Amino acid sequence: MKVVLLCLGIVLSGVSFAESRSGLEFSTEETRALQANDHENPGMLWADRGAALWAEQCSSCHAAGSMRGVAARYPTVAEGQIVTLEQRILRKRPGLAYESDDLLALTAFVARQSRGLPWQPRIDDRDVERGRKAYLLRRGQMNLACTHCHDSNAGKRLGSETISQGQANGYPAYRLEWGRLGSLQRRLRACLFGVRAELPPFGSRELLELELFLAQRGRGLAMESPAVRR
């Protein structure tokens, strides 16, 4: 009986039991090369701008070097609120709009300081219950849940693309399709658009909960931001 319940639990948990694999592993050699080269990775243009903004606006209290390892601990929960890196920056700079160049730049700059470090968000399984449910929820006209593509069919082809595990360790990322750096929330909304679901607004509770779950799911993956994805 216990074994049956355990198996059911595994099936319903929505967390892939195969090894976690970054989106980098599902990219072509050319895309991987582009990400690896700081002088050619367009995402670095935003990180550079972030460095300049940091020097102007933040460095009087926060030395740039002091940001090493910080992004790897996000997202987290503080006083009952989900705090992503963007949310943390917005607390200090509430005037910045979601997906604005400046917010992306600051996020990319801080995230870059954690490149290569394992993602170790300060959260536990209890924190991500709602996000897990959202990940398993069928939605949109196509009536698909995230898990249907990114767990059941990761590694398989959809058209001419290989479906990734949908890991979030590279965000904010430069998506070739966007021609600019973009946040994880932008990517999530794009996925929801793909299944013809309603798009929750940027900064909404629903997207924050999904981000939190994805962080738990991606625990241990190397941080790659600014990553390059197709």
Partner 1 sequence: MNRRHFLALALLAAPGRASAQPNAHVSTTDPLVYSFTQGRTVRAGRVKLEMPRIAESGHSVAMTVRVDSPMTAAEHVRAVHLLAEKNPVRDMASFYLGPHSGRAEISSRVRLNGSQRVVAIAELSDGTFWSDALNIEVREAACTDGGG
Partner 2 sequence: MGLVRIHLPEQARRGASVEARVLIQHPMETGFRRDAAGARVPRNAIHSFLCRYNGVEVFRATLSTGIAANPLLRFYLRAAESGKVEVWWLDDDDIEGSASAHLVVV
Positions annotated as catalytic residues are: 191
Residue 98's nearest CA partner among 175, 181, 176, 169 is: 181
Residue 12 or 176: the one with the smaller Cβ distance to partner 1 is: 176
Report whether 209 contacts 130 (CB < 8 A): yes
**Is 176 one of the binding residues for partner 1 (CB under 8 A)?**
yes
In the shown chain, the binding pattern of residues 11 to 50 toward partner 1, with x for contact by CB under 8 A and - for none, equals: ----------------xxxxx-xx----------------
Q: Candidates 158, 204, 205, 220: give the one binding partner 1 (CB under 8 A).
A: 158
> Is residue 202 within the footprint of partner 2 (CB under 8 A)?
no
Q: How far is the CB of 30 from partner 1 (least distance, A)?
A: 5
**CB closer to partner 2, 20 vs 57:** 57
Segment contacting partner 2 by CB under 8 A, of 40-48, 142-150, 161-169, 219-227? 40-48
Residue in 66, 161, 198, 205 binding partner 1, rule: CB under 8 A: 161
Amino acid at 44: M
- Please give the C-alpha separations between residue 215 and each of 23, 79, 119, 147, in angstroms, as whole numbers: 14, 19, 8, 15
Class of residue 116 by CB neighbours under 10 A (exposed 0-12, middle 13-18, buried 19+): exposed
**H helices of 14-84, where?**
29-36, 43-57
